[in-house]
Amino acid sequence: MREFYQCDFDIAGTFDAMVPDAEILRIICEVFEELGWNGRYTIKLNHRKILDGVFAVCGVPEDKIRPISSAVDKLDKMPWADVRKEMVDDKGLDGEVADRIEKYVMNKGSRELLESLLKDEALNANASAKAGLEDMALMMDYLEAFGVLDKISFDMSLARGLDYYTGVIYEVVTEGSAGVQVAVAENQKPSGKKDKGKPSEDDDRSNDPTLGVGSVAAGGRYDNLVSMFLPKAQIPCVGISFGVDRIFSITKARLEREQKSAALRSSEVDAYVMAFGGKGFTGMLKERMDVCQKLWNAGIKAEFSYKLKPKLPQQFKAAEQGAIPFGIILGEEELAAGKCRIKEMGLPDGHPEKEGVEVTLDTLVTELQARLAKKQDGVVTSLAQQLQGTTV
């Protein structure tokens, strides 16, 4: 049996719909921001009632709903073709039913996905799906009020393992976390011995958040669990479990990378000004010079390519080789509108600012100064203080 450390936060009691659920997600964001993750995580969100409604609408027999749910939950580590094969060949589901399921569970997004599902007549005719969609609409309103909606991915493939979940379900994922867990697990194996504690494919991974691919925390609403132990008590609950071992491993590794990157920087440049365009691209050398001088005048160390028409990949390579933290990207259309894009280098796939943030040229200096200050003070300093003397 595998041993792991876990930290839980739960809210118990009867409250208006989705209010405590939304606060749990806000708390999740606060935890990871305090750890200095700076948005490098995503909260995958779904609802058991929506998922059950989808299965019913698609024609899944009631006795196959849980096995099919388990198969769908593997879409984070298996392609649809393999999941479909498991559904049909191993679990005996009709192929046409599996194809109907695909049209739903392959979707992920935010409000736009919810709005699309709210217009789905078949789903809204199902009582379970309709109730789940109404909950999700409330949830997104509250998450927007809490300022964390941009951290959420409404993921129709998220299913989770245990039957006791009755409402919203969620997992926190981050790039590279699966790899860290593999390393930790390997280090825990006795030399020359096989790991006899390998979990079966249908084991509940919510019990140990580190078992999910890339997952560092997981949870959801479980309104009936308490009554299983206290039959006379009906106490609705919602909560989150943090995988402490994995979170510490990732945080420590990121801190070490940050410190190593800072030590190995070949320059002290803060930003690399680059440009791109389509056919007839002139290189925008004068415009790049103009942006650089604005940054220089504000005390920001900036560079640009001396080439008249540099290729964008070459400009990115120059920034990466110098470990320059930010790129200022000038595009022909954006520049015509008085805008540019600030891109933090090295952000993982799936990060909400992976492609950069559009700002006006008038606010470029203040926006970049704020990001530079946050990167310097919020990552290395705070993490060093929190992890001083910590071993994992």
pLDDT on residue 230:
85
Question: Of 159, 130, 138, which is closest to residue 20 (Cα–Cα)?
Answer: 138
pLDDT tens-digit readout, 222-233: 988 888 888 888
pLDDT on residue 182:
31
pLDDT on residue 255:
79
Burial 230-261 (b: 16+ CB within 10 A, else e): eeeeeebbbbbbbbbbbbbbbbbbbbeebeee
**pLDDT bucket at 388, cuts 50 / 70 / 90:** low
pLDDT on residue 323:
85
Is residue 47 predicted with pLDDT exceeding 60?
yes
Region of poorest pLDDT, from 230-239, 323-332, 365-374 = 230-239
Binding residues for L-histidine, by number, are 6, 10, 160, 164-165
Region of poorest pLDDT, from 20-34, 42-56, 213-227, 277-291 = 213-227
Question: Of 323, 179, 186, which is closest to residue 257 (Cα–Cα)?
Answer: 323
pLDDT on residue 38:
78
Angle at 219 between CA 123 and CA 230, to 5 degrees: 95
**pLDDT bucket at 276, cuts 50 / 70 / 90:** very high
Q: What is the mean pLDDT of the chain?
A: 83
pLDDT on residue 267:
61
- For the chain, what's the residue count? 392
Question: Of 79, 41, 71, 129, which is closest to residue 353 (Cα–Cα)?
Answer: 41
Please give the average per-residue pLDDT across 50-58, as a whole number: 94
**pLDDT bucket at 249, cuts 50 / 70 / 90:** confident
CB of 254 closer than 8 Å to CB of 32: no
pLDDT on residue 383:
47
Binding residues, by number, are 6, 10, 160, 164-165
Q: Is the pTM of this model over 0.85?
A: no
pLDDT on residue 21:
96
- For 20, the token pair is 């405590």
Please give the average per-residue pLDDT across 261-277, as a whole number: 78
Please give the average per-residue pLDDT across 91-110, as a whole number: 93
Q: Tell me how far apart the alpha carbons of residues 12 and 9 are, in angstroms, rounded to a whole number.
A: 10
Between 213 and 174, residue with greater pLDDT: 174
**pLDDT bucket at 361, cuts 50 / 70 / 90:** very high
pLDDT on residue 180:
33
Region of poorest pLDDT, from 59-63, 197-201, 308-312 = 197-201
Region of poorest pLDDT, from 72-76, 124-128, 148-152, 342-346 = 72-76
pLDDT on residue 178:
40
Between 3 and 340, residue with greater pLDDT: 340
SS3 for the chain is CCCCCEEEEEEECCCCCCHHHHHHHHHHHHHHHHCCCCCCCEEEEEEHHHHHHHHHHHCCCHHHHHHHHHHHHHHHCCCHHHHHHHHHHHCCCCHHHHHHHHHHHCCEECHHHHHHHHCCHHHHCCHHHHHHHHHHHHHHHHHHHHCCHHHEEEECCCCCCCCCCCCEEEEEECCCHHHHHHHHHHHHCCCCCCCCCCCCCCCCCCCCHHHCCCEEEEEEECCCHHHHHCCCCCCCEEEEEEEHHHHHHHHHHHHHHHHHHHHHCCCCCCEEEEEECCCCCCCCHHHHHHHHHHHHHCCCCEEECCCCCCCHHHHHHHHHHCCCCEEEEEEHHHHHCCEEEEEECCCCCCCCCCCCEEEECCCHHHHHHHHHHHHHHHHHHHHHHHHCCCCC
CA 302 vs. chain centroid, Å, equals: 31
pLDDT on residue 164:
81
**pLDDT bucket at 160, cuts 50 / 70 / 90:** confident
User: Which range in 127-136, 163-172, 197-206, 265-274 is most confidently predicted, on average pLDDT?
Assistant: 127-136
pLDDT on residue 99:
94
Cα-flanking dihedrals φ and ψ of residue 346, to 5°?
Answer: 85, 10
Q: What one-letter code names the amino acid at 296?
A: W
Q: What one-letter code names the amino acid at 342?
A: I
Please give the average per-residue pLDDT across 79-91, as a whole number: 93
pLDDT on residue 16:
93
**pLDDT bucket at 351, cuts 50 / 70 / 90:** confident
pLDDT on residue 201:
38
Between 190 and 380, residue with greater pLDDT: 380
Please give the average per-residue pLDDT across 179-208, as a whole number: 37
pLDDT on residue 143:
95
pLDDT on residue 4:
79
